[in-house]
């Protein structure tokens, strides 16, 4: 408590004490509240473990203040926009460029323009040019039964006035689609230190920052360190993302479409680089040599 000037009686002291309120551990006389700027947070603080979330908390509204300021110098917004447009997609909004640059290195561990081009090409393909954050075909009906495991989270909720057992659905969400409960839980613990995305997987699609952070989490966890990726083999990245279907399965034409998209993006982001399809696609050495000669 602050000291009052001499001359005040005991009664005055009691009145002052009654009307004093605590502010950050110090008692001061009551004054009208003032607007306060939100505290700044570092990326380390942002990723620090937190208590398990309550089902009544609106996480989408409290995660945004945790954004750091780590815009990459690898790619600027004009280059980002030109690369997206080169693949015949609409120019993205400024917020998408900001989030891409914000987390490219800080959470994706991407430190070269060629890996940045690989990442951008893959997420453009996965998200239909940054326009979809939910698996096509599942956004309207949640694809019940498609991604079912014993780990799926269930809770009792009131639906139309009746208590109902509701099981979360873990279909693809995010710019590079996150699927299965085990991946939602792993991403949630690594990014936030709790299980909020497992309990509420829709956040990956409805909260823009979360959509980006889980996308970069997936890349760093499953693609960045894969053999061949740091050697700039685009096929290795495709194989890490969807190899069972596109590299060794029945959807090879989709793998080829990814690579064609990558060649356009790479020409904008890293124009002196030569695309390399190794890791998923049959390597056409004649085409590669011709491409290498044309880049000299």
Q: How high is the pLDDT of residue 37?
A: 42
Q: Token pair for residue 123?
A: 């997420």
Q: Specify the DSSP class assigned to residue 170.
A: -
Asked whether the CA dihedral 85, 88, 90, 96 is positive or negative, the reply is: negative
More confident: 129 or 52 = 129
Helices and strands in the chain: count of H runs, count of E runs: 13, 4
Task: Give the pLDDT confidence of 10-46 residue by residue, as tens digits.
Answer: 444 444 444 444 444 444 444 444 444 444 444 344 4
- Whole-number Å distance between alpha carbons of 74 and 104: 9
Q: Are 154 and 167 in contact (CB under 8 A)?
A: yes
Task: Give the pLDDT confidence of 198-257 residue by residue, as tens digits.
Answer: 999 999 999 999 999 999 999 999 999 999 999 999 999 999 999 999 998 888 899 999
Q: How many CB atoms lie within 10 A of CB 261?
A: 21
pLDDT above 70 covers a percentage of the chain that reads 71
Q: How high is the pLDDT of residue 67?
A: 53
Residue closest to 175 by CA, chosen among 96, 95, 77, 71: 96
Q: How confident is the model at residue 159 (pLDDT cuts 50, 70, 90)?
A: confident
Q: How confident is the model at residue 295 (pLDDT cuts 50, 70, 90)?
A: very low
Q: How confident is the model at residue 161 (pLDDT cuts 50, 70, 90)?
A: confident
Q: Say if strands 20-23 and 26-29 run parallel, antiparallel, or are unpaired.
A: antiparallel
If you average pLDDT over every residue of the chain, what do you get? 80
Question: What's the mean pLDDT in 254-270?
Answer: 96
What residues contact residue 198 under an 8 Å CB cut-off, 6+ apart?
Answer: 153, 168, 181, 184, 185, 188
Q: How high is the pLDDT of residue 283?
A: 56
Q: Token pair for residue 196?
A: 């909020």
pLDDT at 3 over 90: no
- Whole-number Å distance between alpha carbons of 139 and 11: 67
Q: How high is the pLDDT of residue 289?
A: 43
Question: What's the mean pLDDT in 155-172?
Answer: 83
- Whole-number Å distance between alpha carbons of 272 and 241: 26
Question: What's the mean pLDDT in 81-86?
Answer: 98
Residue closest to 117 by CA, chosen among 82, 145, 150, 93: 82
- Integer angstrom CA distances of residue 140 from 116, 120, 134, 137: 32, 27, 10, 7
Query: In terms of C-beta density within 10 A (0-12 exposed, 13-18 middle, 19 or more buried), how is residue 89 classed?
Result: middle
Q: Name the residues annotated as catalytic.
A: 126
Tokens 């398990």 belong to residue: 52
Give 193-218 as a DSSP string. SS-HHHH-TTHHHH-HHHHHHHHHHH
More confident: 67 or 197 = 197
Choose the weakest-confidence range: 24-33, 86-95, 149-158, 202-211.
24-33
Q: Are 108 and 219 in contact (CB under 8 A)?
A: yes
Choose the weakest-confidence range: 5-9, 121-125, 143-147.
5-9
Q: How confident is the model at residue 69 (pLDDT cuts 50, 70, 90)?
A: low
pLDDT at 99 over 50: yes
Q: Are 27 and 20 in contact (CB under 8 A)?
A: yes
């Amino acid at each position: 408590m602050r000291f009052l000037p001499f001359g005040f009686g005991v009664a005055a002291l009691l009145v002052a004490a009654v009307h004093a309120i605590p502010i950050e551990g110090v008692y001061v006389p009551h004054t009208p509240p003032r607007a306060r700027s939100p505290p700044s947070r570092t990326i380390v603080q942002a990723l620090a473990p937190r208590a398990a979330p309550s089902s009544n908390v609106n996480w989408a509204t409290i995660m945004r203040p945790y954004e750091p300021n780590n815009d990459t110098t690898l790619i600027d917004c004009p280059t980002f926009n030109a690369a997206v447009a080169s693949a015949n997609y609409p120019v993205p909004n400024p917020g998408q460029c900001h989030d891409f640059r914000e987390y490219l290195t800080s959470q994706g561990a991407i430190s070269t323009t060629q890996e940045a081009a690989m990442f951008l090409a893959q997420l453009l393909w996965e998200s239909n040019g940054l326009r979809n954050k939910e698996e096509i075909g599942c956004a309207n009906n949640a694809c019940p039964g498609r991604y079912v495991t014993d780990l799926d989270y269930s809770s009792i909720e009131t639906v139309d006035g009746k208590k109902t057992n509701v099981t979360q659905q873990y279909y693809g969400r995010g710019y590079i689609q996150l699927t299965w409960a085990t991946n939602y839980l792993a991403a949630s613990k690594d990014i936030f230190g709790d299980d909020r995305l497992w309990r509420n997987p829709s956040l990956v699609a409805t909260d823009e920052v979360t959509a980006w952070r889980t996308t970069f989490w997936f890349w760093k966890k499953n693609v960045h360190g894969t053999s061949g990726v740091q050697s700039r083999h685009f096929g290795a990245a495709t194989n890490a993302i969807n190899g069972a279907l596109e590299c060794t399965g029945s959807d090879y034409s989709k793998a080829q479409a990814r690579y064609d998209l990558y060649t356009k993006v790479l020409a904008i982001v890293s124009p002196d680089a030569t695309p390399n399809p190794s890791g998923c696609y049959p390597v056409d050495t004649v085409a590669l040599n011709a491409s290498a000669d044309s880049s000299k």
